[in-house]
Chains A and B, each alone.
Chain A
């Protein structure tokens, strides 16, 4: 469904994304993990059309979407959320979600009705008339998800929707994400919460210094020495292995 091929992007001397490729097949939940500053969000912004890559192509449902404007890509069914939530502050939850719903529903009443349905789906049914500014962090993350969902996408790019949530809130949102997939929406997510990555996704890519260094089932990837070193520093994998043998 999504094919990312050899994407590179530099900012000045910094190579933020370096020849990265990944695939997401229809119906899957795929995770993109990696240390802070690895280039995950940059890769997302390129896929969603917010930035143009220096090199490489992005294909979505067989169509080359590289360099298309963000709103066109959204219309094709690929929508992103923002890591730093960007609500329409002075609008209510209902109005916020309706902006997304308007993409497929021209009529105002129709869009508002759809917004309500989406809000209930993500557990925001009781907050419909609250202004977005009054929401908690967890509420804002959900709103971000709801608005994206209201555009009726076939592929959803979630950028750290669980960051800043407490364990209870995470346990609440994991089934919501799973149910979205079960309704036929393919999901690519950036996530630091490994528990969620493990329980949600069938496949994970690890990005480090802009390059994909590992991919596979999340458990295998997490055990990969290269991945451990990316997170904990050079030689960490060896030291951990040594200490484990010593304890055994």
Chain B
């Protein structure tokens, strides 16, 4: 029964793996790559926000730390990018652990927690701006050296398969979380923290684990970003943009669902591309659009698109003849 829970992930990944065969345009390829990258970042947010119920407004803190960690480790220490990626994920987890330890120790919840994460992302942005180690405001450039051993590829297709593998990993991890005690405890905290405590859940530890996992995963998205663009500056890496994307993607797709971030990312960036075509890339317009989308989603579809699909499926089920319903119940029993 548990193995069957991975079938949908297998099919989805297989379909996504076949996509490059049908795509020749470099632009479309880039759209797919970035959609997957934001799906990964959104999944990171989803673990902490969708499952554990701790809404972060500063996931750029983890994304940017991962990005800067891999860049600086390569530039200053000459570390291999693949090794640097592992280290960068550890850094992301560490940043998550520090923010989590501080805010959860002092029982910050809801909007207070969101504000703290936002503040940390901003502080890190300023630090990256002033520090020579990170290249300051001018940013940091990684020399072009396209070799697989160097996590740089000539072909967009290879980048696509790398990010697809990372997304597949995040889907499997999230599904495994759903079937685990940790996942059950995270949901319990999301639903009612006092009840969770009364039932023996060490809420501090569970929330801390969630934010460390989330931080490491968001950092991996930052690593990928760095490797594909080979350039970072504080305004990009720690910018509010990534924080907003990180939460918008799972909210649109469906918080607390395995596929929410993936669905949300493709829909969000699809809409984004269409608007760009129609309006000719007016600056800031996409942020206005994101804001409007966020309001609409939270007002009318708080469960996101995955929730909408579930509702439609149930409605379709009710329209079936009653006989079928009875048979199904008998089968379930």
A residues neighboring B (CB under 8 Å): 48, 50, 69-71, 74-75, 79-82, 86-91, 95, 98-100, 102-103, 106-109, 111, 147-148, 150-151
9 further A-B pairs in the complex, CB-CB below 8 A; given A71-B197, A88-B192, A99-B188: A48-B198, A50-B198, A71-B201, A82-B194, A87-B191, A88-B195, A103-B199, A107-B181, A151-B200
Nearest A residue to B191, CB-CB: A88
Query: Top 7 closest A-B pairs, CB basis?
Result: A74-B200, A88-B191, A103-B200, A86-B195, A99-B188, A70-B197, A100-B199
Known: A86-B192, A87-B192, A109-B2. A79 touches B184 (CB 8 A): no
Chain B residue contacts of A48, Cβ below 8 A: 198
Whether B2 contacts A148 by the Cβ 8 Å rule is no
Report Cα–Cα, A108/B179, bound state, in Å.
6
* A74 contact set on B, CB distance < 8 A: 197-200
Decide if A102 touches B181 in the complex (CB within 8 Å).
yes
Q: Which of A82, A89, A95, A98 contacts B198 (CB 8 A)?
A: A82
Known: A74-B200, A99-B201. A86 touches B194 (CB 8 A): yes
Are A99 and B185 in contact (CB-based, < 8 A)?
yes
Rounded to whole angstroms, the CA-CA distance of A107 and B176 in the bound complex is: 12
B residues in contact (CB < 8 Å) with A: 2, 179-181, 184-185, 187-188, 191-192, 194-203
Across the interface, do A71 and B200 meet the contact criterion of CB distance under 8 Å?
Answer: yes
Residues of B contacting A86 in the complex (Cβ-Cβ under 8 angstroms): 192, 194-195, 198
Assess whether B197 is in contact with A99, with CB atoms less than 8 Å apart: no
Interface centre among B179, B191, B200, B202 (most CB of A within 10 A): B200
Residues of A within 8 A of B198 (CB): 48, 50, 70, 74, 79-82, 86, 148
A71-B181 contact in complex given A88-B188, A99-B196, A109-B2, C-beta closer than 8 Å: no
CA distance A8 to B263 in the complex (A): 55
| A239, chain B: closest CB distance, angstroms | 42
A-side contacts of B192, CB under 8 Å: 86-89
Q: Point out the residues of chain B lying under 8 angstroms from A79, CB to CB.
A: 198-200
A108 to B2, CA, bound (A): 10
Among A71, A91, A148, the residue within 8 A (CB) of B187 is: A91
Known A-B contacts A70-B197, A82-B198, A86-B192; the reply to A95 vs B179 at CB < 8 A is: no
Interface CB pairs A-B, < 8 A, 7: A50-B194, A86-B192, A86-B194, A88-B187, A88-B191, A88-B192, A99-B195
B199 and A148: CB pair below 8 A? yes
CB of A87 within 8 A of CB of B195, answer yes
Chain B residues positioned under 8 Å from A106 (CB to CB): 181
Chain B residues near A147 (CB-CB < 8 A): 195, 199
Q: How far is the CA of A87 from the CA of B2 in the complex (A)?
A: 26
Residue of A whose beta carbon sits closest to that of B194 = A86
Residues of A within 8 A of B180 (CB): 108
Q: Which one of A81, A99, A111 has the greatest number of beta carbons of chain B within 10 Å?
A: A99
CA distance A147 to B194 in the complex (A): 13
